[in-house]
Amino acid sequence: MITSFDDYPIHQTSEPIAHPESGDPGHYDRYFFNGYSKDGSLFFAAAMGVYPNRHVMDASFSVVVNGEQISAHSSARAPIDRMHCNQVGPIGIEVVSPMKEHRITVETPEHGIRADLRFICTSLPYEEPPFLVRSGNRVTMKYTRLTQLGQWSGWIEIDGVRHNIDPTVVVGSRDRSWGVRGVGERIQLGAPLNHAPQFFWLWAPVCFDGFGTLFDVNEFADGERWHDSGAMLIGNDTIKHAHDVSYQYNWEDGTRRSVGFELDYTFGDSSAHVTFEPITHFQMLGLGYLHPEWGHGMWKGELAVGGERLSLPVEDPMLMHHLHTQTLSNVTMTLSSGEVHRGIGVLETLVLGAHQPNGFTGMTDGYTASR
């Protein structure tokens, strides 16, 4: 099927753009953004995904203010023409200038949210190493992801109260990923596998004045890393890759979320020690992650719009749909030269199933300090 983008010299296969290379129902193409004031008083995030083999598109916007997380969700039939995949009901994401500027709009006053925001990138896009994992013989994750840091301008209106967004005060990050991962209603493909589900993921983008840092890691249940990366993004023209990165996670007792986090980067002839002090735990449920009703790629009809409100911190952080968090944190970096920088960023945590180094044995058991 020929569509608008077929008029551009961008093809990577012999198929038209409308037809993904993979017929896997988990094929997806996704935007993610977050933003936060440097004093930690405001946090917001947005996401939009297209699932062409499921003919579904969805989006969410979520904001934390005064101890409450307010979210709006929308889901619809995905247009065949990717040129028109920039709006899902009341939520829109526009690429104003690729890798430089994006605009996010939200118009759902019935759920208490209106917004018109611009994200201006302040770093180069950092391409993380490819993600690839199999369950038995079947590929369950195979995707590419990039991350950028930036600053925000515009406004957010919550329950009729407008918050002006000053780019000198509100910073954040974005990522873009595409490929195959588990989305939508679960489909049984042949014989069940004889092992329990497991996923361990940490991601930590941080904004300092004039530069930022990135870190991510995936591990198997025994602690072996199957994916990791670390970098320093300096200005809008330099990426300094870490030669090595290690971490120390301090778990809140009885949960799978942070009360502190430390990173050590090695950059050849220099190093950096980074500490995170939590401010608030943003529930990724607000963007559809692990959401029982607004999960990614789920068919909800031609157009569906909804929302919810949560008091933070949530009363039961060990419910499955509350396990995925981004912990907004004050961050201090100490360089091997003795130079100290202070910034703000997030630690994203998603730990499902067993992880022997931290004593997790079940799907959702909490951390016990005596282990």
Rounded to whole angstroms, the Cα distance separating 221 from 353 reads 8
State residue 190's pLDDT score: 80
Distance from C-alpha of 296 to C-alpha of 56, rounded to nearest angstrom: 9
Cβ-based neighbour number of residue 160 at 10 Å = 8
Residue whose C-alpha is closest to residue 251's, from 221, 289, 278, 271: 278
Its sign, for the CA torsion 230, 199, 56, 300, is negative
> CA 101 to CA 56: how far, in whole Å?
26
Length of the chain: 371
Contact between residue 229 and residue 216 where contact means Cβ atoms under 8 Å apart: yes
Q: Token pair for residue 328?
A: 């907004």
What's the one-letter identity of residue 344? I
Please report the pLDDT score of residue 354 as a whole number: 95
8 A C-beta contact, residue 121 and residue 100: yes
Domain boundaries along the sequence of the chain:
27-185+194-358
SS3 173: strand
Helix (H, G, I), strand (E, B) or coil at 261: strand
pLDDT score for 51: 96
Contact at 8 Å (CB) between 239 and 229? no
Task: Please tell me the predicted confidence (pLDDT) of residue 371.
Answer: 53
Cβ contact 282:328 at 8 Å: yes
What is the widest separation between alpha-carbon atoms in the chain?
62
- Res 59: pLDDT: 98
Distances from the Cα of 348 to the Cα of 32, 50, 124, 258, 282, angstroms: 13, 22, 21, 9, 9
Which amino acid belongs to residue 172? G
Q: What is the pLDDT of residue 369?
A: 79
Q: What global pTM score does this model have?
A: 0.95
> What is the b/e burial string over 215-235, where b = at least 16 CB atoms within 10 angstroms of the residue's CB?
bbbbbebeeeeebbbbbbbbe
Residue 196: its pLDDT value, please?
79
Tell me yes or no: is domain 27-185+194-358 CATH 2.40.370.10.
Answer: yes
The answer to whether the CB of 15 falls within 8 A of the CB of 21 is: yes
Q: What is the mean pLDDT of each run of 10 residues along the chain (371 residues)?
A: 90 90 91 97 97 97 96 97 95 97 97 98 96 87 95 97 97 97 84 83 97 97 96 95 96 95 95 97 97 96 97 94 98 97 98 95 87 53
Residues facing residue 54 across a β-bridge: none
Angstrom distance (rounded) from CA 50 to CA 18: 12
Q: Please provide the DSSP assignment of 68-109 as one string.
A: EEEEEEEEEEPPSSGGGTTEETTEEEEEEETTTEEEEEEEEG
